[in-house]
Chains A and B, each alone.
Chain A
Amino acid sequence: MNLKELYQEIILEHGKNPRNLGKTENFNKDAKGNNPLCGDNVHVYLKLNEQRKVEDISFEGSGCAISMASASIMTDLIKGKSDNEAKEIVEDFLGMIKENPELKNNILKEDDKTKLMCLSGVKQYPMRVKCATLSWHTLVSAMENDGKETTTEN
């Protein structure tokens, strides 16, 4: 176990100053997510334009440094991607957190991938994996906009 790997500079920085925090104007899709075990919650808003591109994305919520940083980095990386690209990135991220040693997608630039890999420290902390994945699951429900609340317990 290694706290330094978990709490990397980038994570602490994003945790302290999350990007895209708030409710974006003119959002047309959104979803809420919560982790009933610990009370973390997140609300993801996005504006998907006619070309099915994520024109804007933001989140509101409260949680630990890991969950805040994860949501912050996620919104940064997803902005400007098409919904299909976004879904591929989400799947890749969740695969990496679960088992894959690396990210496989060809959509993100290398330095963005490096940024995302900073979250891989949670792999050693099974109880914290949900902190890192909640906002990503919530993004998927927002895109599908099925109006269901995402919970980490499903």
Chain B
Amino acid sequence: MNINNIKKEFPIFDEKIQNNDLVYLDSANSSQKPKVVLDRINDFYSKKFSNVGRSIHYLAVAATNLYENTRSSVQKYINAKDKNEIVFTKGATEALNLVANTLGQAILEPNDEILITELEHHSNYVPWHFLRKSKNIKIKFAEVNEDGDIPIENIEKEITNKTKVIAITHLSNVTGAVLPIKEITQLAHSKGIVVVVDGCQGGPHLKLDMQDLDCDFYAISCHKMYGPTGLGVLYGKKKWLEQLPPYQGGGGMINEVKKDRISYGELPNKYEAGTMATAQVIAFDQSIKFLESIGIENIVKHEKELIEYGQEILKKNNSVKLIGNPKERGGVLSFTVEGVHPHDIATILDETGVAIRAGHHCCQILHDKLGIPASARASLGVYNTKDDLDKLNDGINNCKKIFDLK
């Protein structure tokens, strides 16, 4: 599939949004959905629907097969060693909560240290904070540098003999910095530290290879990968998923239930309690196929060109200040405009159909560090074009006009 012509695969771009063509620059928040994914949801609910894994009638078996097919597709897409290392969750947030909670139960002791970074999204901080409250675990922050990067030295510096876990983002949803997960993992493993990666932004923008990265856990958000909402994936090394306790209890995750004892099911059922987001899982298979049909190499190349172009035009626009200048930037351009608050920028851009996000993007620690309460963020997906970025720039110029700035 040719990436230069890909908007037509997404029905939303046929819509007029308040009489405008949609210029969607909010994919880091959530991406739009291609027709193949929408069709699969409809097809499943209208022609093939049944719950999975329980009944033995025809539809139940067929639905179970579709559900498990997605697991295999995800396994291949992220190059995990084993199918049972793929656990479906309600989102990356739940995946990270699962890891923090179960590691907390199984291996963490009071005064142990978790090392995160100043770039982390609240969903890779708050779950660890729970352990700070309940188990008196310490949280340390590796410092972000002025380019919006976390150099590996800043991580190394914070490691002590109490450090048990490093929980870190693959790609910052604010500065766009791509962090060297493979090197960080090598460093961590040499000291017996578990590595948990928030892969929300890595998922849609980077080539994923779990065996190469070698991290212990990797959380994915399917709705940012051209898939349905209400779904995430937790990749976890088999040795960990086997060893850690279950997270939620209920149907589907058990082996045998007696009045005086309960035994739990095998992987991956152990972590999939209750009725799962069945239709979403089944439709996500189409998201993976969609990504594969473009080719991640082509996506990376396309987005790199756009990021370079976006940086170039925004740098030329005086009064725009780009946030961060990381060595390797993926998918995200955050900025401020001197004299115009990000919310006002977002409202004014919206008037011409340009959808961006304004706020702290769930990264308050980073914004505090930058000394700003909020920023504006344009984030990219496969469907964006240079024309979209020109419209962004026009919109910024319109803000300057309204606010009477030079």
Contacts and interface: CB of A to CB of B under 8 A. Distances in A.
B404 A12 contact: yes
Nearest to A122: B347
A40 B403 contact: no
Interface string A35-76: 001111100000000000000000000111110100000000
B82 interface: no
Contacts of B348: 3, 7
A98 B17 CA distance: 25
Contacts of A38: 343, 358-360, 374
Contacts of A1: 18, 351
Contacts of B364: 39
A63 B341 contact: yes
Q: Does more than half of chain B's interface fall in helix, strand or loop, or is it mixed?
A: mixed
A40 B18 CA distance: 27
A6 B347 CA distance: 10
Given A64-B341, A66-B343, A41 B373 contact: yes
Interface string A96-136: 00000000000000000000000000000101100100000
A62 to B, nearest CB: 5
Interface residues of B, number: 20
Q: Which of A6, A65, A125 has the most CB of B within 10 A?
A: A65
B402 interface: yes
B358 A66 contact: no
A39 B402 contact: no
Interface string B356-367: 001110001001
A7 B345 CA distance: 12
Contacts of A127: 347
A128 B347 contact: yes
B359 A64 contact: no
Nearest to A61: B373
B23 to A, nearest CB: 16
B374 A12 contact: no
A41 B351 CA distance: 25
Interface in B363-377: 364, 367, 373-374
Nearest to B403: A12
A128 B402 contact: no
A127 B348 CA distance: 13
Given A63-B373, A64-B344, A37 B18 contact: no
A100 B403 CA distance: 29
B202 interface: no
A40 B351 contact: no
Contacts of B203: none
Q: Which of A7, A39, A125, A128 has the most CB of B within 10 A?
A: A39
A79 to B, nearest CB: 25
Interface string A13-41: 00010000000000000000000011111
A62 B359 CA distance: 12
A128 B359 contact: no
Contacts of B340: 65
Nearest to A4: B402
Given A12-B404, A63-B341, A39 B373 contact: yes
Nearest to A62: B373
Contacts of A65: 340-341, 344, 403
Interface in B313-369: 339-344, 347-348, 351, 358-360, 364, 367
Interface in B386-406: 402-404
Contacts of A62: 373
A24 B360 CA distance: 29
B229 to A, nearest CB: 18
Contacts of B347: 3, 6, 125, 127-128
Contacts of B367: 39
Nearest to B345: A64
A3 B403 contact: no
Q: Which of B339, B344, B404 has the most CB of A within 10 A?
A: B344
Contacts of B358: 38
A9 B164 CA distance: 56
A6 B351 CA distance: 12
A133 B341 CA distance: 17
Q: Which of A6, A38, A125 has the most CB of B within 10 A?
A: A38
B26 to A, nearest CB: 13
Contact of B343 (A3, A16, A131): A131
Contacts of B339: 16
Nearest to A65: B344
8 shortest interchain CB distances as A-B pairs = A64-B341, A64-B343, A38-B359, A39-B373, A39-B360, A39-B374, A64-B344, A62-B373
13 contacts: A3-B348, A6-B347, A7-B344, A16-B403, A39-B359, A39-B373, A39-B374, A40-B373, A65-B344, A66-B343, A66-B344, A68-B341, A131-B343
Given A16-B339, A41-B373, 17 more contacts: A3-B347, A6-B347, A7-B344, A7-B348, A7-B403, A12-B403, A16-B403, A37-B359, A38-B358, A39-B359, A40-B343, A62-B373, A63-B343, A63-B373, A64-B341, A64-B344, A65-B344
